[in-house]
A and B are shown apart, each in its own frame.
Chain A
Amino acid sequence: MTAAVLSQALGQVFDPYVLWVILGSAMFGLFVGAVPGLTATMATALLVPVTFFMPPVPAIASIVTATAMAIFAGDIPSCFLRMPGTPASAAYTDEAYAMTKKGQGELALGSGLVFSVIGGLFGTAVLIAAAPALAEVALKFSSFEYFWLVILGLSSAVFLAIGNPLKGVVSLLLGLLVSAVGLDNPAGYPRFTFGNAELAGGLTLIPIMIGMFAVSEILRGVAGIDKPWEMAQAQIGNVFRGQWRLVKKYPLQTLRGSILGTAIGALPGAGADIAAWMSYAMSKKFSKEPEKFGSGHVEGIIEAGASNNSALAGAWIPALVFGIPGDSITAIVIGVLYIKGLNPGPTIFMNNAVALYAIFIVFILANLLMIPLGVAAIKGAKQMLRAPRELLLPIILLFCIVGSFAINNSAFGVVLMLAFGIVGYVMEENGFPVAPAILGMVLGAMLEENFISSMIKADGRLLAFFERPIAGSLGALTLIVLSVPVIKRLIAQRNVTSA
C-alpha cells in the first residue's frame, strides 16, 4: 500500500457527504439492532435500494456501519427484555438478562459495548492484513481451485449451521436450484423460464433476500404480536464503570473470542450468530468458574460479544478476495460490490485499491464511532424499545415493497419478495436454516461455471480435480469436512452399542 493510495482513501472517507451517510447508517443500525425481530441482515437488505444511488464508497460505508452497530445493539434488549435484538446476541441473552436482574445491567451493557468495539477492531485488523496476502495466492487459481473453494464454502455453511445437517443440505440445494433459473449459465440456454421474460433474466437476488430476511421476520413478528414485551428495570449510569477492570481480568477470553469470531466469520456461510454460540460455549468450557455461567456472569458475554463483532469483519475476507460470502450480510454485499464496479476477486487489490482501503478505514471508523453512539443508544434504549410494533411492522413492510420494486422497477420484485418471504418463514419454522439457501443462490452461478469449465478442460476425467497442488489440497480438505459428520455418527453409534 502506498502513501498516495492511503491519502486518497482517507480523502474519500472524510468527505462530508460520506460522513453524513455513516452517521445516518449508524443510527439506523443501532435502531434496527436494538429492536427485537429486526436483524443486521435485514438492515443490509433494506439499505441496498438506498445505496443504489450513491457512489461506491458511501454505499459500502453505509452497510459496514449499519451492520457493526446493529450487532452491538442486539445486546441491548437482551438486558432489558430477555430478547436478543439480533440472532447474534441470542447466545448470551439469558446471561445478560440475569445480570440485569442482579442489578448489574449497567455492567452487562457496558461490556457488550466495550468488547464489541475490541472484537470489531480485531476482526478489522485481520481483514486488512489477511485479505491482500490471500489475494496474492488467489491470483494463481484456476477453475479447479475455485470449484473446490465454492464446494468447501458450501459444505462448511451446511455443517456449521445449528440443527440437522441434512436440512442444511436441502436448503442449500434449493438455493442452487434458484440460481439455475434463467439464461445466465455456461450454455446460455434458457432454463426454468416457462417462456416468461422476467424469469429469463434469472431471479434477482435482492428482492429474494428482502423476502427471506425481512418479510419472514415481519411474519414472525406479526404472528407473535400478542406476546407483550416486559421491560426489566435497570439503573443505567456510567456504562464504562468497571470495564477497565474486566479488560485486565479477561484478556485471554477477549482474544480467544476475537480469533474464533474472525475465523468463523471468514468461513463461508457461518456468521456472527454461530460465532457467538461457539464462543459462549468455549468460554464456559475453559472458564475457571463454569458453574457461574447462566446465573449472570460476565465472562461469557465478554468472549461472545467480542466474537460476534469480529465475525462481521472476518466475513469480508472471502467476500472481497474470492467473491464467496462469509455470512448472509456479505452475501448481499457481494451483489452491491458488482453493481458498484468493485468486482470481488483477487484483482480487486489492483483495480480498486483506493476504494478498498477506504472500506477498511470505514471499518475502523465505524467501530470507534460505536463508543459514543453506543452510549447514546443504551441511554435511549427504553424509548427505542417502546416503539409500537403495530405501527413499526407496517412501515417496514412498505419500505420492503418499495425496496424490492426499486431493483428492477418492476412489480415482479414484490411478487418474488412475498413468495420468498413465505418460503423463508416456513423453512425457519421447520428447522431448515436460511443461510445455506442464500449462499447457494449467490454461489450457484460460480459453482456451475467452474464445474462445467473444469469438466470440459478435463474431458470428464474426475481425477483432474485433484491434479493441481492447491486444488488437490482443497479437494482433500473438503472431503475431510464432508466426512466429519459421518465419522461422528459412527463413533456415537459405537458408544451406544458398547454402553
Chain B
Amino acid sequence: MPGQKFGPAWFPGLIAIGLIVCGGVLAAQTFRERVPLFEAPEWIRSPRALAGVASVIAGLIFYVLAADVLGFYVTAFLIQVMWMRLLGASWRVTLPVALIATVVIHLSFYKLLRIPLPWGMFERFAF
C-alpha cells in the first residue's frame, strides 16, 4: 500500500518465501530417498472402513447443504442412521440410538444453551 513502509503484504510474503524454501527442500529430500510419491493407506482395502470414511465426509457436506431446508432434526437423524449403519450397527440398535442422540443433543444445545439450530421447513412445529 502506498504511504506504508511495512504494509499488509509483508507478513504473508515472508510466509510464502518460507513455504517455498521448505517445500523445495522436502521435495528434494523425497526425490533423493526414492520413496513412492503416493501410497494408498491400508484402510482403502477394507470396505467397511472405506465406506465409513467416505460417509463421514459425505454426511458433513449433506448436513451443510440440507440443514437449512430439512431442519436439524431430520438432517441429523438421517446422517446418524447412515453413519451407524455403515459402521456396522444393526437396524434394531441404530434407529433408537440415532433418535435419542438427535433429541438429546438438540434439547441440550437448543433449549439449555440457546443455540438457534435450524428448523428449516418445519419452522411451524418449532418448540
CB-contacts of B44-89 with A (<8 A): 46, 48-49, 52-53, 56-57, 59-61, 63-64, 67-68, 76, 79-80, 83-84, 87-89
Residues of A in contact (CB 8 Å), total 57
B8 touches A225 (CB 8 A): no
Q: Which residue of chain A has the shortest Cβ distance to B102 in the bound complex? A: A398
CB-contacts of A392-445 with B (<8 A): 393-395, 397-399, 401-402, 405-406, 409, 411, 414-415, 417-418, 422, 429
Interface residues on B, range: 35 or more
A402 touches B117 (CB 8 A): yes
CB of A451 within 8 A of chain B?
Answer: yes
Q: Please give, as numbers and ranges, the residues of chain B lying within 8 Å of A397 by CB-CB distance.
A: 56, 59-60, 83
- Majority SS at the chain A contact face: helix
Q: Please give, as numbers and ranges, the residues of chain A lying within 8 Å of B25 by CB-CB distance.
A: 166
- CA A391 to CA B94, docked complex, whole Å: 8
CB of A389 within 8 A of chain B?
Answer: yes
A398 touches B11 (CB 8 A): no
Partner of B84, one of A215, A394, A417: A394
CB of A191 within 8 A of chain B?
Answer: yes
A166 touches B22 (CB 8 A): yes
A394 touches B12 (CB 8 A): no
- CA A112 to CA B1, docked complex, whole Å: 58
Q: Please give, as numbers and ranges, the residues of chain B lying within 8 Å of A393 by CB-CB distance.
A: 83, 87
Q: Please give, as numbers and ranges, the residues of chain B lying within 8 Å of A218 by CB-CB distance.
A: 56
Q: In the complex where A166-B26, A393-B87, A456-B6 touch, is A53 in contact with B101 (Cβ < 8 A)?
A: no
A226 touches B26 (CB 8 A): no
Partner of A53, one of B26, B64, B80, B114: B114
Q: Please give, as numbers and ranges, the residues of chain B lying within 8 Å of A447 by CB-CB distance.
A: 11
B89 touches A418 (CB 8 A): no
Partner of A191, one of B6, B12, B49: B12
Contacts A/B (CB < 8 Å), 27 sampled: A169-B22, A170-B26, A187-B8, A215-B56, A218-B56, A219-B53, A224-B49, A226-B48, A389-B87, A390-B84, A390-B89, A391-B97, A394-B87, A394-B98, A395-B105, A397-B83, A398-B79, A398-B101, A398-B105, A401-B60, A409-B115, A411-B67, A414-B60, A415-B64, A418-B57, A451-B11, A452-B6
